[in-house]
């Protein structure tokens, strides 16, 4: 049966994803709920380019978070940078907050 989703990327009401390889169960649930089949198919192609361009090596545990971040951006899962449809959680933050939390290099154990 063809389910419909309201897609966070193309903003259409469109067919839901049927099959795919998702990286984590949490991501699968979120992507299935928010992304349409057409955009998913676009990601399948973009993913290959991202992996090649960033030279991601999945033997390296750091590669997966990078790919997931690219995917979240691709699907606008965290809202759009242009501010067209910011996610509710993000709009509460001051504009200059850096969500990436850079430079946590002094990790104490």
Smallest distance from the beta carbon of 11 to Zn ion, in angstroms? 7
Confirm or reject binding of residue 39 to Zn ion (CB under 5 A).
yes
Confirm or reject binding of residue 17 to Zn ion (CB under 5 A).
no
Find out whether 16 and 5 touch, Cβ atoms under 8 Å.
yes
Q: Which is nearer to Zn ion, 63 or 80 (CB)?
A: 80
Smallest distance from the beta carbon of 100 to Zn ion, in angstroms? 25
Number of shown-chain residues binding Zn ion (CB under 5 A): 5
Cα separation of 87 and 60, whole Å?
Answer: 31
Confirm or reject binding of residue 34 to Zn ion (CB under 5 A).
no
Output the six-digit token pair for 98: 């850096």
Which residues of this protein are in contact with Zn ion, per CB under 5 A? 7, 9-10, 36, 39
């Amino acid at each position: 049966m063809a389910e419909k989703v309201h897609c966070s990327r193309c903003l259409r009401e469109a067919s839901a994803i049927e099959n795919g390889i998702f990286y984590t169960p949490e991501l699968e649930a979120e992507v299935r709920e928010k992304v349409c089949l057409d955009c998913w198919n676009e990601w399948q192609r973009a993913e290959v380019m991202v992996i090649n361009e960033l030279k991601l090596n999945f033997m390296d545990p750091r590669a997966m978070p990078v790919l997931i971040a690219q995917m979240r951006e691709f699907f606008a899962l965290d809202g759009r940078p242009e501010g067209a449809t910011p996610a509710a959680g993000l709009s509460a933050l001051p504009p200059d907050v850096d969500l990436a939390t850079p430079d946590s290099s002094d990790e104490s154990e």
